[in-house]
Amino acid sequence: MSEKILDRINKTGDIKKIRRELYPQLAEEIREFMIEKISKSGGHLASSLGVVELTMALHTAFNLPKDKIIWDVGHQCYTHKILTGRKDSFDTIRSLGGISGFPKRQESECDAFDTGHSSTSVSAGLGMVNARRLNGEKNKIVSVIGDGALTGGLAYEALNNAGQLKENFIIILNDNNMSISQNIGSVSRMMTNIRTAPKYTDFKSNVVSALEKIPKVGGRIIKKIRGAKSTFKSLFIPGMFFEDMGLTYLGPVDGHNIDDLLFVLEDAKRVKGAVVVHVMTEKGHGYDPAMRDPERFHGIGKFDPETGECLCKKEPDYSRVFGGIMCKLAEKNDKIACISAAMPEGTGLKNFAKRFPPRFFDVGIAEEHAVTFAAGLAAGGAKPYVCV
């Protein structure tokens, strides 16, 4: 049997010793490892499978633990744990006394921030950037936030604040077009527009390389183009929304292509101020059952790694009982409405949503908004239940 590259990954920084052409094989081995382990313990598999290459690129481009990576929610951190000396503890993941399924500072000096709740990473990262200045340090700070987490208001409060920043702060937008379920709302629609827009980056580099060939004049035109932000860029820049907030936007970039990721990360390091790197990933990437049903594999119990079939008992849980009762109540009372903050499945309300669509509201990962929205519904005579 040929030697596994993953056998050479035992502590933080080991990935940097692996030859670049072996990275795709390493990514495959990490996925195999993760699927095998999580099939026995259960866990957040689909999100972690989606960021294997992104995590490898981050660990190559940055120096941990000096540089800091803040994982939003933290459920996508399995590759990060594998690359930071915790591979051999994976048999204990999510069990009493074992390693956590989320980043934990007490577990590793490479876990920069304890997470769990969504949409906090930009605030936490911005705080660290300011602490860095106060301490006179020079390390890099990277927040990784999903498109689902970007439906949470807290993220915008932080982006609004970050727009004024004069020093480097890298925000990776991990866009897989999914929250736990389908992502909702206009931010999600905006992302789709960005994804389908003509590739600004390709266009830009084509124009620049064509102009560079023009002696003398070319350089001057390039400078002008780079300066003409609002007029020229708005025509082609998909991330104008971020640029208008005072952040630099780079991307979109293929999140499963490590060379492209490394290239854009080097660019991001040079930006003076906050920079959003828009990375496109696929939830569940590399494992057919998870790619077919990323929602089921978001947080899954024990399963058969060959088929992806669930091995857990189908006993009714609290959420399912609750969902059933809400349906019964709603049959009798047409004022009853349910509001979920991106958790229709987790709150047992999928069936309610299907049966009473006008009375079901998925408001995105936005609990504060959900509660105030419910107060508004109640003022209008409805009987709202906020389910988080």
Ligand X SMILES: Cc1ncc(C[n+]2csc(CCOP(=O)(O)OP(=O)(O)O)c2C)c(N)n1
Site for ligand X, rule CB under 6 A: 47, 50, 73, 75-76, 117-118, 146-149, 176, 178-180, 283, 298, 341-343, 365, 367
| Alpha-carbon separation of residue 328 from 299, 315, 323, 377 (angstroms) | 27, 20, 9, 20
Min. distance of Cβ 348 from ligand X in angstroms? 14
Min. distance of Cβ 365 from ligand X in angstroms? 5
243 or 367: CB nearest ligand X: 367
Q: How far apart are CA 171 and CA 174, in angstroms?
A: 9
37 or 298: CB nearest ligand X: 298
156 or 232: CB nearest ligand X: 156
Residue 212, token pair as written in the block = 């560079």
111 or 168: CB nearest ligand X: 111
How many residues are there in the chain? 388
Min. distance of Cβ 372 from ligand X in angstroms? 15
| Alpha-carbon separation of residue 259 from 4, 56, 304, 358 (angstroms) | 22, 11, 33, 46
Report the amino acid identity of residue 292.
R
73 or 261: CB nearest ligand X: 73
83 or 330: CB nearest ligand X: 83
Give kind and range of the element (H or E) at residue 372. Answer: helix 367-379
Min. distance of Cβ 208 from ligand X in angstroms? 33
Burial 9-39 (b: 16+ CB within 10 A, else e): beebbbbeebeeeebeebbebbbebbbebbb
Instruction: Find, among 50, 148, 43, the residue nearest to 363 by Cα.
Output: 148
Min. distance of Cβ 281 from ligand X in angstroms? 8
Q: Number of helices and strands (H, E) in the chain?
A: 16, 8
Min. distance of Cβ 183 from ligand X in angstroms? 7
Q: How far apart are CA 75 and CA 46, in angstroms?
A: 10
